[in-house]
Amino acid sequence: MGTIERGWSGGRDRQLWRLLARAVPGHRRTLRGDGPVASITFDDVPESAATTGAAILDRHDARATYFVAAALCGRQDRYWRVADRARIRDLSEAGHEIGCHTARHVNVQSLRGLDLLRECEVSSAMIAEICGRAPRNFCYPFGDVGLIQKRMLAQRFDTCRTIYEHPNAGRVDPAMLGAYGLFDTVMDHDRLRRILRRTVARRGWLILYTHDIADEPTPMGATPHLLDETLGLLAEHGIPVMTVAEAARHHGLVATS
């Protein structure tokens, strides 16, 4: 695999392809669940998400989806240390889902054709070695994706999650699932309640995403209080928490076995 990009694409051609990815729907599917559900997702899997975050989830008897760039396990990032392979294995054994975030946390718009597929195959093989099963769900690093990459990944994974804030309700493109950032910098009690009420009213699928869990989180992370409060409010509104894989089955996006 050649040179990769880590970061948001700023070029006009990339912006156009991003717009097309959002505007040109893939194989749209109708959410068929009999009630609303929510998924808590962690991108990059900082060590604190695998320890502090998992402990809070456990207290609420909830399971999350952790999107890991498998080749970076155990490495020091700019912001945090990524959970190592043993931590990822522990999460899987505890019932959490491990999803694909590419192998090296690469901007997928910087990859074409076989390079993109190879990146995901390498990551999937690593995750299968760690957890005993290959990932079925994907999250775009940096939230960046063009139409070509979206179409390719839609054939490779059951769902692909973005960072575009919109509810998943009615008919959805499984390769462009919306999500809301669960960051202390952007999410407060009132806003969260409004989002939850809309999810209940539309019997939709709310996906929340964050990164580190710390008393002083990065701008992309959450405090333990915010995560704990979110799980409490979900229970108060009668919204069960499911992994992405479980929620996709609940809403009929994949066949149940």
Task: Identify the band that residue 26 occupies on the pLDDT scale cut at 50, 70 and 90.
Answer: confident
Predicted local confidence at residue 256, as pLDDT:
65
- The tokens describing 64, both together, are 């999350």
In the predicted structure, residue 202 carries a pLDDT above the cut 90: yes
In the predicted structure, residue 6 carries a pLDDT above the cut 70: no
Taking only the tens place, the pLDDT of each residue in 72-118 is: 999 998 899 999 999 999 999 999 999 999 999 999 988 888 899 99
Cα-to-chain-centroid distance, residue 147 = 19
Q: How far apart are CA 80 and CA 72, in angstroms?
A: 12
Task: Identify the band that residue 1 occupies on the pLDDT scale cut at 50, 70 and 90.
Answer: very low
For residue 116, count CB atoms less than 10 angstroms from its CB and return exposed for 0-12, middle for 13-18, buried for 19 or more: buried
For residue 136, count CB atoms less than 10 angstroms from its CB and return exposed for 0-12, middle for 13-18, buried for 19 or more: middle
Predicted local confidence at residue 85, as pLDDT:
98
Q: How far apart are CA 73 and CA 81, in angstroms?
A: 8
In the predicted structure, residue 170 carries a pLDDT above the cut 90: yes
In the predicted structure, residue 17 carries a pLDDT above the cut 90: no
Percent residues over pLDDT 90 in the chain: 81
State the average pLDDT over residues 152-179. 95
Sequence-distant (6+) residues with CB within 8 A of 157 are 100, 120, 135, 136, 137, 138, 175
Task: Identify the band that residue 2 occupies on the pLDDT scale cut at 50, 70 and 90.
Answer: very low
- Domains, the chain: 32-250 (3.20.20.370)
Of residues 169 and 21, more confidence is placed in 169
Question: For strand 205-210 and strand 159-161, is the pairing parallel, antiparallel, or unpaired?
Answer: unpaired
Q: How far apart are CA 89 and CA 95, in angstroms?
A: 10
Of residues 29 and 23, more confidence is placed in 29
Task: Identify the band that residue 5 occupies on the pLDDT scale cut at 50, 70 and 90.
Answer: low
